[in-house]
Structure 1
Amino acid sequence: MHIVKWAALLTVFWVLLSGYIQPLLLSFGAVSIAVVLVVLKRMDAVDQEPKHVSSGFQMFRYLAWLAGQVVSSSIHVTKLIWGSPDKLSPSLAKVSIKNVTPKAHVLYANSITLTPGTLSVDLKDGEVTVHALEKASIDQLEQGDMERKIISLWSDKK
């Protein structure tokens, strides 16, 4: 069943990225998707660990929340940059991510990087090193709101 979900996801992704609904381009997309699905099926057979696509609203809720964070952070960073330089307090800190499952570490680090004003520098030993334009951004990460969102998104429901 997860192959069907991957096929649907890849098809939507292909159509959205190409923007063309012409028979030749759709056939290229179908061939490309078929190749990816064959490789995915073979990889599942080798590592005995199929990669499932979330079928609930959790992914959409997380993406909507992340988009909101990106917009609000962009506005905040713009105010910081255009405002007085005294408000900037560049910081580098390690944030623990021991509660996040190992397969979600990269999603967490990338979510930090996508949020303006913060950058994931290193991901090692259950910690992510974060550079921020303002110490308050690191404090906000340490409060764990993003971590809780990732944990709820990536729970082992199949």
Structure 2
Amino acid sequence: MYLIKWAILLSMFWLLLSGYIQPLLLSFGAASVAVVLLIIKRMDDIDKEPFQTGTGRQIIQYLPYLTGQIILSSIQVTKLIWRSPVKLEPATAKIKAKDLPRDKRVLYANSITLTPGTLTVDLVDDELTVHALQGSSVDELAEGNMERKIDSIWGNKK
């Protein structure tokens, strides 16, 4: 069943990106989707742990929050760039993500990286190494608002 969900999701994504409905392009899209499905199936056969796609409810709840964070961070980075470069205070810090389920720590790390001005450099167990253009960005992450948001949407299932 999950392969059908992946097939539908990938096909819709292909159509969205291509924008053309011509036989040749549709056949390329179908071939690409088939190859990706074969890879997913093979990976699941090897690790015996198929990844289940969700209903999408959680993503629909999380995307507005993440989009808002990206916009706010973009404004902050723009202000930093337009001001004197002397205002930049790059910082690197380790942040604990102990309250998140193991499989959601990657989502947390990627969300940090998607937010302008911050970059997740490393993720080991429950510890993320984060680089930021300003120390205040690291302090905001250490407060845990983004972590709590992910935890509230996906639940704490370890």
Name the TM tier (shorter chain).
0.7 to 0.9
Q: Which amino acid in the other structure matches residue 129 of structure 2? A: T
Contact 2:74 2:116 in 1 (8 A): yes
Matched, 1:143 2:146: no
Structure 2 portions without partners, runs of 5+? none
1:57 corresponds to which residue?
57
The aligned counterpart of 2:97 is 97
* Aligned partner letter, 2:128: V
1:11-33 CA distances to partner (integer Å, 9 max, x unpaired)?
A: 11111222211111101111221
Aligned residue in 2 for 1:7: 7
Q: Give the stretch that moved more between structures: 141-150 or 8-17.
A: 141-150
Q: Output the aligned Cα RMSD.
A: 2.0
SS at match of 2:53: coil
- Residue in 1 aligned with 2:112? 112
The count of corresponding residues between Structure 1 and Structure 2 is 157
Counterparts of 1:90 and 1:98, CA distance in 2? 25
Give the aligned residue type for 1:135.
Answer: G
Aligned-partner Cα distance in 1 for 2:97–2:67: 22
Tell me if structure 1 keeps the 8 A contact 2:73–2:116: yes
Tell me the equivalent position of 1:28. 28
The Cα shift of 1:156 comes to 7.8
Q: Give the alignment's TM-score, normalised by structure 1.
A: 0.87
Q: 1:125 to 1:39 in 2, by over 3 A?
A: closer
Of residues 129-138 and 34-43 in structure 1, the stretch that sits farther from structure 2 once superposed is 34-43
1: CA distance between counterparts of 2:150 and 2:42? 28
The answer to which of 101-110 and 81-90 deviates more is: 81-90
Residue 16 (structure 1) aligns with: 16
Q: Closer, same or farther in 2 for the Cα pair 1:156/1:40, shift >3 Å?
A: farther
Residues 62 and 14 of structure 1: is their aligned pair in 2 closer, same or farther, counting only changes over 3 Å?
same
- Specify the alignment match of 2:129 in structure 1: 129
Letter in 1 for 2:12: V
Tell me which amino acid in the other structure corresponds to 2:33. I
Q: What is the DSSP-based 3-state SS (H/G/I as helix, E as strand, rest coil) of the residue aligned with 2:33?
A: helix
Q: Distance in 1 between matches of 2:75 and 2:52?
A: 35
Q: CA deviation at 1:103?
A: 2.1
Whole-Å Cα distance in 2 between the matches of residues 98 and 55 of structure 1? Answer: 25
CA–CA distance in 1 between the matches of 2:48 and 2:126?
A: 25
